[in-house]
A and B are shown apart, each in its own frame.
Chain A
Protein backbone atom coordinates (compact mmCIF):
# COMPACT_ATOMS: atom_id res chain seq x y z
CA UNK A 1 0.00 0.00 0.00
CA UNK A 2 1.40 3.45 -0.85
CA UNK A 3 2.63 5.42 2.10
CA UNK A 4 3.93 8.82 3.08
CA UNK A 5 7.65 8.72 3.81
CA UNK A 6 9.57 11.21 5.91
CA UNK A 7 13.27 11.81 6.35
CA UNK A 8 15.18 11.99 8.55
CA UNK A 9 13.51 10.02 11.29
CA UNK A 10 15.43 11.99 13.90
CA UNK A 11 17.14 15.37 13.60
CA UNK A 12 19.18 17.03 16.30
CA UNK A 13 20.08 20.66 15.83
CA UNK A 14 21.37 23.59 17.81
CA UNK A 15 19.19 26.54 18.66
CA UNK A 16 19.29 29.15 15.90
CA UNK A 17 20.14 26.68 13.15
CA UNK A 18 17.99 26.05 10.10
CA UNK A 19 16.47 22.63 9.51
CA UNK A 20 14.64 21.14 6.55
CA UNK A 21 12.30 18.23 7.10
CA UNK A 22 11.47 16.20 4.04
CA UNK A 23 8.40 14.27 2.99
CA UNK A 24 7.35 12.28 -0.03
CA UNK A 25 3.54 12.25 -0.13
CA UNK A 26 1.51 9.53 -1.82
CA UNK A 27 1.90 10.07 -5.55
CA UNK A 28 -1.70 10.72 -6.63
CA UNK A 29 -2.53 12.92 -3.65
CA UNK A 30 -3.10 16.62 -4.18
CA UNK A 31 -3.30 17.99 -0.63
CA UNK A 32 -0.32 18.10 1.68
CA UNK A 33 -0.02 18.93 5.35
CA UNK A 34 2.41 19.37 8.19
CA UNK A 35 1.37 18.65 11.76
CA UNK A 36 3.43 18.58 14.90
CA UNK A 37 3.15 16.79 18.23
CA UNK A 38 5.04 17.98 21.27
CA UNK A 39 5.97 15.04 23.48
CA UNK A 40 2.95 13.74 25.36
CA UNK A 41 0.54 16.18 23.76
CA UNK A 42 -2.02 16.11 21.00
CA UNK A 43 -1.34 16.45 17.29
CA UNK A 44 -1.51 20.09 16.10
CA UNK A 45 -2.10 21.45 12.63
CA UNK A 46 0.64 23.62 11.15
CA UNK A 47 -0.11 24.15 7.47
CA UNK A 48 -1.96 22.82 4.45
CA UNK A 49 -0.73 23.09 0.87
CA UNK A 50 -2.66 22.69 -2.36
CA UNK A 51 -2.05 23.71 -5.94
CA UNK A 52 1.46 24.91 -5.10
CA UNK A 53 0.42 27.31 -2.42
CA UNK A 54 -0.44 27.42 1.25
CA UNK A 55 -4.21 27.04 1.68
CA UNK A 56 -4.29 27.44 5.43
CA UNK A 57 -1.87 27.88 8.30
CA UNK A 58 -2.14 27.94 12.06
CA UNK A 59 -0.91 30.56 14.48
CA UNK A 60 2.03 28.26 15.21
CA UNK A 61 3.19 28.59 11.59
CA UNK A 62 4.91 31.95 11.92
CA UNK A 63 7.54 33.62 9.72
CA UNK A 64 10.27 31.19 10.72
CA UNK A 65 8.38 28.35 9.00
CA UNK A 66 8.05 27.79 5.28
CA UNK A 67 6.96 24.96 3.02
CA UNK A 68 7.91 24.05 -0.50
CA UNK A 69 7.18 21.45 -3.12
CA UNK A 70 10.42 21.78 -5.05
CA UNK A 71 10.16 19.02 -7.61
CA UNK A 72 6.69 17.49 -7.86
CA UNK A 73 7.39 14.65 -5.45
CA UNK A 74 8.97 16.12 -2.32
CA UNK A 75 7.24 18.37 0.19
CA UNK A 76 9.50 20.14 2.67
CA UNK A 77 9.13 22.06 5.90
CA UNK A 78 11.87 24.55 6.70
CA UNK A 79 12.39 26.08 10.10
CA UNK A 80 14.72 29.04 9.66
CA UNK A 81 16.04 29.65 13.15
CA UNK A 82 15.09 26.87 15.50
CA UNK A 83 14.06 27.49 19.08
CA UNK A 84 14.05 25.06 21.98
CA UNK A 85 10.26 24.97 21.89
CA UNK A 86 10.34 23.70 18.29
CA UNK A 87 11.39 20.30 19.65
CA UNK A 88 8.58 17.93 18.65
CA UNK A 89 7.54 15.19 16.26
CA UNK A 90 6.70 16.65 12.88
CA UNK A 91 4.25 14.66 10.78
CA UNK A 92 3.66 15.08 7.08
CA UNK A 93 0.31 13.97 5.68
CA UNK A 94 -1.36 13.85 2.30
CA UNK A 95 -4.85 13.25 0.99
CA UNK A 96 -6.55 12.86 -2.36
CA UNK A 97 -9.11 15.60 -1.98
CA UNK A 98 -8.64 17.52 1.25
CA UNK A 99 -9.84 16.84 4.78
CA UNK A 100 -13.02 15.14 3.63
CA UNK A 101 -10.91 12.29 2.30
CA UNK A 102 -8.63 10.20 4.53
CA UNK A 103 -5.37 11.84 5.58
CA UNK A 104 -2.40 9.49 5.41
CA UNK A 105 0.36 10.36 7.86
CA UNK A 106 4.05 9.58 7.67
CA UNK A 107 5.94 8.19 10.64
CA UNK A 108 7.28 11.58 11.53
CA UNK A 109 10.60 13.30 12.10
CA UNK A 110 11.61 13.78 15.70
CA UNK A 111 13.25 17.20 15.95
CA UNK A 112 15.38 17.87 18.99
CA UNK A 113 16.67 21.42 19.44
CA UNK A 114 19.49 21.76 21.96
Chain B
Protein backbone atom coordinates (compact mmCIF):
# COMPACT_ATOMS: atom_id res chain seq x y z
CA UNK B 1 0.00 0.00 0.00
CA UNK B 2 0.98 3.63 -0.13
CA UNK B 3 3.41 4.86 2.49
CA UNK B 4 4.12 8.38 3.65
CA UNK B 5 7.56 8.62 5.19
CA UNK B 6 8.35 11.47 7.50
CA UNK B 7 11.72 12.76 8.60
CA UNK B 8 13.11 13.24 11.03
CA UNK B 9 11.35 10.71 13.27
CA UNK B 10 12.04 12.90 16.26
CA UNK B 11 13.49 16.31 17.00
CA UNK B 12 14.89 17.81 20.16
CA UNK B 13 15.14 21.56 19.97
CA UNK B 14 15.36 24.57 22.24
CA UNK B 15 12.53 27.06 22.60
CA UNK B 16 12.81 29.78 19.99
CA UNK B 17 14.44 27.61 17.35
CA UNK B 18 12.95 27.08 13.93
CA UNK B 19 11.84 23.59 12.94
CA UNK B 20 11.66 21.90 9.59
CA UNK B 21 10.22 18.48 8.81
CA UNK B 22 9.18 16.75 5.65
CA UNK B 23 7.05 14.03 4.20
CA UNK B 24 7.71 11.97 1.09
CA UNK B 25 5.77 9.42 -0.89
CA UNK B 26 6.54 7.07 -3.74
CA UNK B 27 3.17 7.98 -5.22
CA UNK B 28 1.56 11.23 -6.23
CA UNK B 29 -0.86 12.92 -3.87
CA UNK B 30 -3.32 15.63 -4.90
CA UNK B 31 -3.84 16.91 -1.37
CA UNK B 32 -1.39 17.19 1.48
CA UNK B 33 -2.55 17.72 5.04
CA UNK B 34 -0.52 18.41 8.15
CA UNK B 35 -1.94 17.35 11.51
CA UNK B 36 -0.64 17.77 15.07
CA UNK B 37 -1.41 15.30 17.83
CA UNK B 38 -1.01 16.24 21.47
CA UNK B 39 -0.67 13.44 24.04
CA UNK B 40 -4.01 11.76 24.74
CA UNK B 41 -5.83 13.69 22.04
CA UNK B 42 -6.90 13.25 18.47
CA UNK B 43 -5.10 14.76 15.47
CA UNK B 44 -5.88 18.41 14.77
CA UNK B 45 -5.59 19.82 11.26
CA UNK B 46 -2.94 22.54 10.94
CA UNK B 47 -2.63 23.21 7.22
CA UNK B 48 -4.20 21.84 4.04
CA UNK B 49 -2.50 22.05 0.64
CA UNK B 50 -4.42 21.42 -2.58
CA UNK B 51 -2.15 22.51 -5.43
CA UNK B 52 1.36 21.51 -6.47
CA UNK B 53 3.81 24.25 -5.54
CA UNK B 54 1.38 25.85 -3.10
CA UNK B 55 2.92 27.55 -0.08
CA UNK B 56 0.52 28.17 2.79
CA UNK B 57 1.01 29.77 6.19
CA UNK B 58 -0.95 29.49 9.41
CA UNK B 59 0.62 31.77 12.00
CA UNK B 60 4.14 30.52 12.68
CA UNK B 61 3.57 27.44 10.51
CA UNK B 62 4.37 27.29 6.82
CA UNK B 63 3.84 24.28 4.59
CA UNK B 64 4.57 23.64 0.94
CA UNK B 65 3.16 21.15 -1.54
CA UNK B 66 6.11 19.88 -3.59
CA UNK B 67 5.95 20.40 -7.34
CA UNK B 68 6.48 16.68 -7.98
CA UNK B 69 3.37 16.07 -5.80
CA UNK B 70 5.37 13.44 -3.94
CA UNK B 71 6.53 15.53 -1.03
CA UNK B 72 5.65 18.31 1.37
CA UNK B 73 7.44 20.15 4.14
CA UNK B 74 6.28 21.88 7.29
CA UNK B 75 8.24 24.65 8.98
CA UNK B 76 7.61 26.09 12.42
CA UNK B 77 9.28 29.36 13.25
CA UNK B 78 10.31 30.49 16.73
CA UNK B 79 9.10 27.36 18.50
CA UNK B 80 7.22 27.64 21.79
CA UNK B 81 6.46 24.97 24.43
CA UNK B 82 2.96 24.28 23.10
CA UNK B 83 4.47 23.16 19.79
CA UNK B 84 5.46 19.91 21.48
CA UNK B 85 3.64 16.93 20.01
CA UNK B 86 3.62 14.59 17.05
CA UNK B 87 3.22 16.02 13.57
CA UNK B 88 1.68 13.86 10.88
CA UNK B 89 1.38 14.46 7.19
CA UNK B 90 -1.62 12.85 5.55
CA UNK B 91 -3.43 12.69 2.28
CA UNK B 92 -6.22 10.94 0.47
CA UNK B 93 -5.19 8.47 -2.21
CA UNK B 94 -5.72 10.15 -5.56
CA UNK B 95 -8.50 7.88 -6.78
CA UNK B 96 -12.01 9.02 -7.47
CA UNK B 97 -14.44 8.33 -4.65
CA UNK B 98 -11.71 7.27 -2.28
CA UNK B 99 -12.39 8.17 1.35
CA UNK B 100 -9.26 6.84 3.02
CA UNK B 101 -6.80 9.25 4.56
CA UNK B 102 -3.27 7.83 4.69
CA UNK B 103 -1.16 9.13 7.56
CA UNK B 104 2.60 9.46 7.65
CA UNK B 105 4.89 7.88 10.19
CA UNK B 106 5.04 11.08 12.27
CA UNK B 107 7.69 13.46 13.59
CA UNK B 108 7.82 13.83 17.36
CA UNK B 109 8.85 17.30 18.47
CA UNK B 110 10.33 17.81 21.93
CA UNK B 111 11.45 21.13 23.33
CA UNK B 112 14.42 20.99 25.65
CA UNK B 113 14.20 23.44 28.55
Which A positions have Cβ atoms within 8 angstroms of B?
4, 31, 33, 35, 42-45, 48, 50, 55-56, 58, 91, 93, 98-100, 102-108
A43 and B88 within 8 A (CB): yes
A107 and B99 within 8 A (CB): no
Cβ-neighbour of A105 out of B43, B98, B100 (below 8 A) = B43
Which B positions have Cβ atoms within 8 angstroms of A?
31, 37, 40-45, 48, 50, 88, 90, 92, 97-106
10 inter-chain pairs at a CB distance below 8 angstroms, sorted by A residue, are A4-B42, A42-B106, A43-B37, A48-B100, A56-B98, A98-B99, A99-B100, A100-B92, A102-B45, A107-B40
- Contacts A42-B104, A105-B42 aside, 16 further interface pairs with beta carbons under 8 A come to A4-B42, A35-B101, A43-B43, A43-B90, A43-B103, A50-B99, A55-B97, A56-B98, A91-B43, A98-B99, A99-B98, A99-B99, A99-B100, A100-B50, A105-B43, A105-B44
Closest Cβ of chain B to A45, distance in Å, is 5
Residues in chain B near residue A45, CB distance under 8 A = 100-102
Which 9 A-B pairs have CB atoms at the shortest separation, nearest pair first? A105-B42, A48-B99, A99-B92, A43-B103, A45-B100, A56-B99, A42-B103, A91-B42, A102-B45
Cβ-neighbour of B100 out of A4, A58, A108 (below 8 A) = A58
